[in-house]
Structure formats: C-alpha cells, structure tokens
Structure 1
Amino acid sequence: MRFMSRERETAERYVPGLDNKLGEVALEVLESPESPGLSLFRAAGGAGLLIAKEAGGLGASLLEAAQIHRVLGSRSPSLAIAVNMHSCTVAAIPPGPTTEALLGMVAQGGLYLASAFAEGVPGASVIAPKLRGERVPGGWKLSGSKKPCSLARSMDILTASVMLRPDGEDEEQLALVIIPADSPGIEVRPLGNGLVFPGSETEEVVLTDVEIPEESVSFFGKTDSLNAALTAGWLTFELLVSACYLGMASGLAERVLDQRRGSAVDRMLLVSELDAAMAGIESVATDIMNGRADAETVARALHVRFAVQRTVERTSALATELLGGVGFMVGSSALYYTACRGLAFHPPSRVSIAEPLDRFIAGESLIVT
C-alpha cells in the first residue's frame, strides 16, 4: 500500500526493522504497561535519532524525525508519546561542551532522556518551572514534582527547568539541569489508573532535596516568554507531537484502507486530509532546517499544530465510524480513537494561545508565556 510509504522508507533508513517488529506485536500489547515498544526503539538505535552523527547519533533532520514519529504513532500511540518526550528533550538542550558530551553519551549508550518542564496544568505557563532550587556548596538542591512525566521508568537521565539565581546576579534566570535518574531523592510514583497511553510510562516524578553539581546547570538567561534559547525545543515539540497524533489517526485510516471500508470518496478524503496535514508539518520543518527560527516561524508552527489537531479530530471520527462494529468499544479502534483526542491537552491550549496569535496576525509582537 502506498499510504505513508515515504514515512516508512525514512523509518527503515534510520531505524531498520523497527516498523516490522512493531507490526508483529499486537496493539493491545503495545498499549499496555508491559509494552516492549521502548525496548525495541532503544535496540534500533532510536535514542540517537536527532543527535548529530559526529556525536555518534543517527543525524536525522527534523523533517525526517517528523516522518518517523508519524510511523510510531500509527503503530503504537504510547510509544510515539514516550519517544516524543525524548526527542524534544534532545532538541531543547542548549549547545555547550557539557551538553555535547551528554548527547554523545545518550547516542552511544542508547540512553533515554525525560524532562520535567512545565506541562500538565490547564491555563498554566508553558515556561514557568514547577521545581524549586536553592544554593548549596558546590551546586544546587532541587525539590518538586513533574506530572505527568513520560518515560518515568525507562529514563536514564532527567532534565528539568528551574528558576535559579546565578552568583553575582540580582534576579533569577531560567536554567536547565541534568540529573541522573538514579540520583538520591528521585522517586517515581504511580499517576493513577486508566491512562490513555499505558505503554508510555507516564507517571509522577518527585524530587526531594536532589543535589546537582555546578557543571550540570545551563542557564537560558532572563526570560518572561520564549527567547532564542528556548525556541528550538518549542518548535520541535509542536511539530513532532503533531506528527505523533497524525500518525495515530493514520493508523485508523490504514485499517479503513486495508479493509476497503466506506466508499472511494470516504477513503480519498481520509488520505487527502492526513497527507495535507503532514505537508504542513514538513513545510515548517523545512523552514527551521533552513535556519528560520523567528516569531513568524513559531506562529506558523502553532497554526500548523492546531490545523493538525482539527484534522486528527475529523479523520479519526470518520475512520472509526467506517470501521464500525464492537471494535469501537473494545478493540483497536477504541484504543486509537481515544488516543487521538490527546493532542488537545498538550500545551499550549487553543484558548490560551488564541489571543497572542490573533494579535501577532494583526501586527503585534508574539508573546508566549
């Protein structure tokens, strides 16, 4: 079948054999707490997907990563969500000798990065950290929690955002801290039953007086909104999370195409809407790869994300209706359809970002808080 053929070719080039191996595992198993998805992705070298070849990674471009994330979403929503956290954490790490060494370790050791950045509270800032930090001799001490946090049990390294005041400065600055997952004071707590992505290891990660050495802290600088140091991670998140959910809707569409459900018009509409949305993701990814990371690019990425969100809503509903039967309630259709709703709950919400985007289109500055 030609549907998603380019994406599967890209996946085969970077993580050979992974798509077939995932396809051999029942969806109900992939979407369970015992899912082998993360182990399979790690074994295929996927942890180094967005890390440069010079550092031992696979060196995939943002566009190619988006294609691979779409494939992952079509095979296992849980795996796509977990991998998205890792990929976006890799992209958010600012350049520097310490972080370059870290990324080399991640790529060569197949390590997973999780992140404790602001997320998960309706209406809250997407930048304001949830963790607290205090100065101690030789470094810092952190406390707080992150929930939800994917990759909570497979993570090798936890990265976190926190407001700290550098020595000699009058004000706090946003900082990125790098914490080994086995550090004393880190605890993983169950988030609750009935999670939509049971194979993503989405739990609560609690930090209690976790000590961080000086060299494990990178400062972004003073910021009340997105600045240049944060833009790369922000753009990567919006594009890749959109590709993940587009892949989930594509997984439903594949079943419609395989089973020849509905009319030719129904099937054409599914493919055209999904592929048009993917073209939007690829267009913004190409701009970013060509060096554009300004406010207009951020705005385009957000508009594409919400266009994808609407596309996923429409196509997943139509595909589920065409598949029909009891599968809507208890089978794979139910798993995919429920998962597809999740994009609406990733930051920023439509309500919180509508005014800033509306003002930007009218000619004002883009302020994202």
Structure 2
Amino acid sequence: MEFMQADREACDRLLPGLRERLLELPLSELESADSPALALFREYGGTQLLIPADRGGLGASALDAVRVVRVLGGLAPSMSVATAMHHFSIGMLYSIADLYGKDTEIEPILERVSGEKLLVASGFAEGRSNQGILSPNTVARPVPGGYVVDGAKKPCSLSRSMGLLTTSVAVPRADGTNEMGLLLLPADTPGISVHPFWSTFPLAGAESNEVRLTDIFVEPTKILRPPPGLTAQLSELEEAGTIWFQMIVTAVYTGMVSRLAALVLERGRGAATDRARLLMAVDSAAMLAEGIARRVMSGDTGNDCAAAALVTRFSVREVLTQALDLAVELLGGMSYIQSTDVAYLTAAVHAIAFHPPSRTSMTDALLDYYAGKPLVMA
C-alpha cells in the first residue's frame, strides 16, 4: 500500500472531487485570509462528514474522519484547523439533541445545518483556563419577555463563514446562582459582530477572529436548559467532546507533516534509512489518532479515553516536531528557499501546541490520573 493510500481513498469516497480541487490551487492562495477553501469545503459536502446518515449527512465513522482530515490537513491547513471546530460542534449538537429529545427548538435548526450545509462555529469555553468545554462563555440578563445575551469569543474560527454559532450561556436562577443553557444563533442574528483578532500569517485562512454578542434578545424557549437529572450525562458529553476535538486536531497536524514527508518520498531525498525513518514517524503519529478513533467506534468515550486522547495529542506533537525537522532537512535548502510552502508548513505545524488544553495546564491533572484518580479537565 502506498503512503497515505487509505487516507486518500477515504477522502475520495466520502468527499469526491474535493481533494483534486484543492490540489489545483496554490497553498499560498488556500492559506490567505481570503481563502476559497472553506467555500470549497461546503461545496463538496465537507460539512456533512460527521452528520448522522439518518439526519441527512454522510455518517462517517471516526476512523474515516481522521483519515479524511489527515489528507485535508496537508492540502489546506487553515481550512482543516477551522473545520475541526465545525466537526466538534456537530458532534456536540447531535449528542445534545439526543439528550434533550426531538421535541425542542434544536431540531429545526439541525435540519437547516444539514440541508443548507451550514458551517457551525463554536462559542463554547474550550479555550479558557479552569473551565470545562460547556462552561458558559456568555451571560443572559433577565428582561421583560426573555433575556439579553452578551459575551465574546476570541479567537473564534469560521467567524466569517459560519452559518450558525453555538454557545453555552449562564442563565440566572431565582436563588442567585446560574444554570447552563445552550444557544444556537444564526450568524446573521442582530447583535453578532466579527472583529479582527488573528495577527499572524500561519493559519490566517481559519478566520479566527473575535466574535462579539451584544444586546441579543432571546426568548426563554430559545435557551435550551439541561433536562432534570442529566448532570452525569453532560459530564460524559464533555468527555466525548474532548476526545473528538483532540483526535481531529491531531489528524490535521499529522496531515501537514505528511505533505512534507510525501515530497521527500516523491523526490527521493536523502538516504533510504532517513526516508524510512521519516515515513515511519509520521505514520506512527497517524496510527495513534486512528487508535483513538477505533476506541470511539467501540463505544469507549469515557474518562480513560479522554485521557488517552489528550496524551495522544501531546505525544504526537513531539513526534511531529522531530519528523518536521527531518523532513525539512531532507528536502534541502533550495526547496526551502525556492518555495514558501515548506517554510509555511513548518510554521503552521507548531500551532498544534496551542490548542486547548495545553500540556502544561494539564500536568497536575495527568499526574493525578496516573495516580489512580479520574482525569479532571476543568
């Protein structure tokens, strides 16, 4: 089997035509702030990848998903990083819909997401210290007839291309405490605004700007509240969300280094032993993500798998950093000088360290986990 053959076959089977279309465009165009990649992702059905088949989607397995994402990560890194948040949001939304039941406000919106191939941005608090994924990042103030919602998310990927923004919201109770609610806001909702935030060139096409929510009026029925007695299920939902996000992001960055490794193989650069060492390293990173995918497919989405998903991303980062250095060395100085692609991918790959939660922030939690305690991600 050729290098990445299974990945390409999965991509072409589920999203026919997208890989070839991306290959027609230079990386510099795909990675620009005005990149056409997200529009192409929608056009070729990428938004449907993880939507269940009985809801109008492609219903891809976790294994197929990581293979598709690995291919796309090498072809259009910004698009792939940004749509990792879409895939995460899709997984959370449909899981939440299963918890809440079908007789809620969420169902018509999910039908729009599938039917119109909407990109879904996430306003969840996955980037804040000492907060769980679903911890509210916005606040609802009671007013006559409903609530007024204010808040902000920065960076928020897909800020300009999103069709729907999902966010958790703190809803005040009569006793002065807050309960969590869920909001699904169409991107054209009055009061949603996008502001510049991303100031560096790597991954500029991910549209990671600031999204502000200002004085948005919401009727009480539009805020989904947790059904009574489902606290444990929401905790499990956070664990499942963590697993999916870490798994997808790991595959994205593995794809970036895979592109450089494929160039080394294609050009026959360096000694055979070095080429083999590079390909084995990159494939081992891919296999680690696939291992998490297989656990997901077996129904293992609990605390142990969440820990494994985090350890996978942290470990893959080390593997990819070393593989990246070797790939750049083998490609040689002229390749680095004559094309910006090598330098760009080198810069972009290092962003794997910045996705939440960071390795340093999880040190104590992982040590406690290895001492026999449950992994606590908040």
Which residue identity is paired with 1:162?
V
| Correspondent of 2:340 among 319, 331, 336 | 331
Q: Contact 2:7–2:68 (CA<8 Å) still a contact in 1? A: yes
- Could you report, residue by residue, the CA deviation over 1:203-257 in whole angstroms, capped at 9, with x for unpaired residues? 1111111122334323358979971132222211010011111111111111111
The 1:224–1:352 alpha-carbon spacing in structure 2 relative to 1, beyond 3 Å, is farther
Partner of 1:205 in structure 2? 211
Q: Distance in 2 between matches of 1:234 and 1:219?
A: 21
Q: Contact 2:158–2:208 (CA<8 Å) still a contact in 1? A: yes
User: Is the counterpart of residue 252 in structure 1 residue 266 in structure 2?
Assistant: no
The 1:239–1:293 alpha-carbon spacing in structure 2 relative to 1, beyond 3 Å, is same
Alignment of 1:1-369 (within 5 A): 2-93=2-93, 94-95=96-97, 96-97=101-102, 98-120=105-127, 123-127=129-133, 128-165=135-172, 171-220=177-226, 227-325=235-333, 327-328=335-336, 331-369=340-378
- Could you report, residue by residue, the CA deviation over 1:31-78 in whole angstroms, capped at 9, with x for unpaired residues? 112211111110111111101111111111122111111111110111
The 1:129–1:326 alpha-carbon spacing in structure 2 relative to 1, beyond 3 Å, is farther
Question: Which consecutive unaligned segments of at least 5 residues does structure 2 have?
Answer: none
Q: Contact 1:131–1:142 (CA<8 Å) still a contact in 2? A: yes
Segment of structure 1 superposing worse, 335-344 or 308-317: 308-317
Which residue identity is paired with 1:290?
S
Q: Contact 1:126–1:347 (CA<8 Å) still a contact in 2? A: no
- CA apart distance, 1:170: 6.3
Segment of structure 1 superposing worse, 258-267 or 24-33: 258-267
- CA apart distance, 1:310: 1.1
Which residue identity is paired with 2:162?
M
- Could you report, residue by residue, the CA deviation over 1:277-321 in whole angstroms, capped at 9, with x for unpaired residues? 221211221112221122111111111111111112111121112
Q: Contact 1:92–1:234 (CA<8 Å) still a contact in 2? A: no
Q: Specify the SS of the correspondent of 1:359.
A: helix
Q: Contact 2:366–2:375 (CA<8 Å) still a contact in 1? A: yes
- Could you report, residue by residue, the CA deviation over 1:128-167 in whole angstroms, capped at 9, with x for unpaired residues? 433222223444321121111111101011111222235x
Q: Distance in 2 between matches of 1:218 and 1:153?
A: 25
Segment of structure 1 superposing worse, 49-58 or 321-330: 321-330
- Could you report, residue by residue, the CA deviation over 1:314-337 in whole angstroms, capped at 9, with x for unpaired residues? 111211122232553661001111
- CA apart distance, 1:193: 3.1
Which residue identity is paired with 1:208?
T
- CA apart distance, 1:347: 0.6
Which residue identity is paired with 1:256?
V
Q: Specify the SS of the correspondent of 2:333.
A: coil
Which residue identity is paired with 2:193?
E
Which residue identity is paired with 1:27?
L
Segment of structure 1 superposing worse, 265-274 or 127-136: 127-136
Q: RMSD over aligned Cα, in angstroms?
A: 2.2
Segment of structure 1 superposing worse, 57-66 or 324-333: 324-333
TM-score where L is the length of structure 2: 0.91
- CA apart distance, 1:84: 0.7
- How many residue pairs match? The answer is 367
Which residue identity is paired with 1:334?
A
Segment of structure 1 superposing worse, 234-243 or 210-219: 210-219
Which residue identity is paired with 1:47?
T
Q: Specify the SS of the correspondent of 1:218.
A: coil
Q: Specify the SS of the correspondent of 1:206.
A: strand
Question: Which consecutive unaligned segments of at least 5 residues does structure 1 have?
Answer: none
Q: Distance in 2 between matches of 1:185 and 1:108?
A: 25
Which residue identity is paired with 2:377?
V
Q: Distance in 1 between matches of 2:244 and 2:145?
A: 33
The 1:73–1:170 alpha-carbon spacing in structure 2 relative to 1, beyond 3 Å, is same
Q: Specify the SS of the correspondent of 1:158.
A: strand
The 1:195–1:142 alpha-carbon spacing in structure 2 relative to 1, beyond 3 Å, is farther
Q: Distance in 2 between matches of 1:204 and 1:68?
A: 28
Q: Distance in 2 between matches of 1:199 and 1:192?
A: 10
